[in-house]
Structure 1
């Protein structure tokens, strides 16, 4: 029997009506049974929902923001469907449900759980619109709620997968469907054992595709992007980029660890463990080969540049005239773990621990309040973290023109620099 293929389409490939039509064109000659399509929210919908949540948390009116988001989806539908199509009341109903959730109280204490109840509406909306449009184009396809498949713990916003239960769900619920018809589902969302919505971390739709692939013993996963494949730098920021025709799992995992945005960091491991190849291709040029990530004997040592923005450098200095010990690092990491903050860079000196973390709503103030009794703390925000893998030393100065360097460290195969514009 033909092994299942997984296709994942992100927000950029669903940003407007023309993009949805392009998605249908890509699928038209490729779609068959044993096919699962995973979609993200449309365009910048997740960002808009986060803005609504921020306004609600600050007791500000969010009705205009919600109306804009609703109009965005309805405008796309008006371009894709005739008047009176069933999609219009479905969209209206999703926004009624969304507002019902938004009417409930929110606080810093329940923010993460509240976030997961709200944010998944982006994927539910996009998956309904795409499914209905494909069906209108005579591409028969089934809709599947990912929350019935992806079983997680209750670590809201960063939920961990219950792999055994998820595999059982996929084998019992998804596999019989996919053997008969292509199935479309949502990325990024799951549910805990009590049925409460959870999410897998921002940009988690790639991870969803890998989870479903591993659970179905799939033949391949293809992620459709607005770039030709995996490049050695973001072409929106850096010129003269190089396309990797092939990458080893380990090298791809290293790139995602340091923050390469083309693939979600958790995507590689389940695919590598199962030996499932991952293709990264362009939805703008779908017939181009893109990048294949699989087992390779040789690592491609082309210098690779990864830039993370909105970074915070936190320096923690011991105040009791002792030196930094393992217990201090353990204390800091324990608080970071409680707040679900990932360290993007760590450096220690005799009396100081320096960490670089992503900027997240009100998380920094919570971290400082927990650690300021034991450390003297300074921080800088609005920074960038530049990582260069397999660097050529004469290449680094070209990346620092017009920038001030706040922190730098090197290993055998990587250079990391915290910088800010002068």
Structure 2
């Protein structure tokens, strides 16, 4: 029997009517049974929904932004479908459900669960539109709700997969359909044991593709991006980037761990364990080779540069001048874990611990309040974390020129620096 193929299309590949038409052309000669197509929310819809949540939490009027999201999607549909097409009624129903959800109370205490319920609508809406358009182009797909098979715990916003249950459900529910038709579904979302919507972490659609690929013993997973493949740096931030024709699982995992945005960090592990190759290809140039990530990739010495923005540097000093001990580090990590905050960089001195974390709404205040009785705390916001893998020492100064370095460290294979732009005054 032919092995299942998984294609994942991100927000940029479904950002407007032209992008959706391009997606259909990519699938025209590739679509077949035993294929799963995973789609993300359209364009910046997730960001827009997050903005609505921030406004609601601040007791501000979010109706203008809510209307913008609705108009955005209906405008795309008006360019893709005739007026009488059923998609308009489907969309109206989904937006009515969303508006009803937004009427329920929101607080810091229930924010994560509320977030998952609201933000999931981005994927549900986009997948309906793409599915209907493909069928209108005689590219027949079966729309399925990913929450039927992606089974998770109740760790809202960062849900962990129940692998055994997910694999069993995929094999039982979706495999029989795939023997006759391709399936189109959503990335990023799942459900817990009580049937509540969960999400897998920001940009988690890549992970969904890997989960489905692993659960259905796929032949390969392909992520379609707006870049030619995996590059050694973000071309929007750094000039003269190089494309990797192939990468080993371990190297790709290391790049994602440090923040390379081309692939979600959790994507590599299940595919590597199952020996399923991952392809990263361009939806702008679908015939190009892209990058293949697999076990037997040839080694190389090309440095990889990763830049994470919106970083916070927190320094925690023991108040009684004793030295930092394991119990202090344990206490800090205990609170970080409780708040679902990940450390991007750690540095120890005799009497202090310095950590670098991503900025998250109201999480910094919560962390400070939990630790301020035990530590003297200082922090800086709005920073950047620069990481260079397989660094060449002679190239580092140019990457720090024009920046103040607040913290740096180097190992045999990795250089990291926390930096902020030096403000230049006009004379």
Alignment TM-score > 0.5, same fold: yes
Q: CA RMSD in A?
A: 0.5
CA contact (8 A) 2:310 2:384 kept: yes
SS of aligned partner of 1:347: strand
Q: Which residue of 2 aligns with 1:377?
A: 377
CA contact (8 A) 1:251 1:299 kept: no
Q: Which residue of 1 aligns with 2:119?
A: 119
Measure, in 2, the Cα distance between the counterparts of 1:61 and 1:374: 39
Q: In the alignment, is residue 62 of structure 1 matched against residue 62 of structure 2?
A: yes
SS of aligned partner of 1:313: strand
- Report deviation, 1:299: 2.8
Q: Which residue of 2 aligns with 1:295?
A: 295
- Report deviation, 1:179: 1.1
Measure, in 2, the Cα distance between the counterparts of 1:151 and 1:178: 19
Measure, in 2, the Cα distance between the counterparts of 1:157 and 1:43: 20
Q: Which residue of 2 aligns with 1:175?
A: 175
- Report deviation, 1:300: 2.1
Q: Which residue of 2 aligns with 1:198?
A: 198
Measure, in 2, the Cα distance between the counterparts of 1:313 and 1:203: 23
Q: Which residue of 1 aligns with 2:131?
A: 131
Measure, in 1, the Cα distance between the counterparts of 2:293 and 2:261: 15
Q: Which residue of 2 aligns with 1:106?
A: 106
Is the alpha carbon distance of 1:261 and 1:21 closer, same or farther for their aligned partners in structure 2, counting shifts above 3 Å?
A: same
Measure, in 2, the Cα distance between the counterparts of 1:206 and 1:321: 46
Q: Which residue of 2 aligns with 1:93?
A: 93
CA displacement 1:15-50 (0-9 Å, x = unmatched) = 100000000000000000000000000000000000
Q: Which residue of 2 aligns with 1:219?
A: 219
Measure, in 1, the Cα distance between the counterparts of 2:300 and 2:162: 34
SS of aligned partner of 1:36: strand
Q: Which residue of 2 aligns with 1:23?
A: 23
Measure, in 2, the Cα distance between the counterparts of 1:92 and 1:400: 50
Q: Which residue of 2 aligns with 1:359?
A: 359
SS of aligned partner of 2:222: strand
Measure, in 2, the Cα distance between the counterparts of 1:330 and 1:311: 22
Q: In the alignment, is residue 390 of structure 1 matched against residue 385 of structure 2?
A: no
SS of aligned partner of 2:401: coil
CA contact (8 A) 2:150 2:190 kept: yes
Measure, in 2, the Cα distance between the counterparts of 1:278 and 1:312: 32
Measure, in 1, the Cα distance between the counterparts of 2:176 and 2:299: 39
CA contact (8 A) 1:40 1:187 kept: yes
Q: Which residue of 2 aligns with 1:232?
A: 232
SS of aligned partner of 1:170: helix
CA contact (8 A) 1:101 1:118 kept: yes
Structure 1: unaligned runs, 5 residues or longer: none
Measure, in 2, the Cα distance between the counterparts of 1:137 and 1:297: 38
Q: Which residue of 1 aligns with 2:244?
A: 244
Structure 2: unaligned runs, 5 residues or longer: 423-427
Measure, in 2, the Cα distance between the counterparts of 1:121 and 1:264: 20
Q: Which residue of 1 aligns with 2:425?
A: none
Measure, in 1, the Cα distance between the counterparts of 2:178 and 2:259: 33
- Report deviation, 1:297: 5.7
Measure, in 2, the Cα distance between the counterparts of 1:99 and 1:83: 23
Measure, in 2, the Cα distance between the counterparts of 1:294 and 1:384: 31
CA displacement 1:252-295 (0-9 Å, x = unmatched) = 00000000000000000000000000000000000000000001
SS of aligned partner of 1:79: helix
CA contact (8 A) 2:247 2:297 kept: no
Q: Which residue of 2 aligns with 1:159?
A: 159
Is the alpha carbon distance of 1:41 and 1:297 closer, same or farther for their aligned partners in structure 2, counting shifts above 3 Å?
A: closer
Measure, in 1, the Cα distance between the counterparts of 2:93 and 2:397: 55
Q: In the alignment, is residue 261 of structure 1 matched against residue 272 of structure 2?
A: no
CA displacement 1:329-387 (0-9 Å, x = unmatched) = 00000000000000000000000100000000000000000000000000000000000
What TM-score, normalized by structure 2, do the two folds share? 0.98
Measure, in 1, the Cα distance between the counterparts of 2:173 and 2:413: 44
Measure, in 2, the Cα distance between the counterparts of 1:332 and 1:301: 36
- Report deviation, 1:311: 0.2
Q: How does 1:320-331 map to 2 (within 5 A)?
A: 320-331=320-331
- Report deviation, 1:401: 1.2
Q: Which residue of 2 aligns with 1:52?
A: 52
Measure, in 1, the Cα distance between the counterparts of 2:156 and 2:69: 24
Q: How many residues align?
A: 422
SS of aligned partner of 1:314: strand
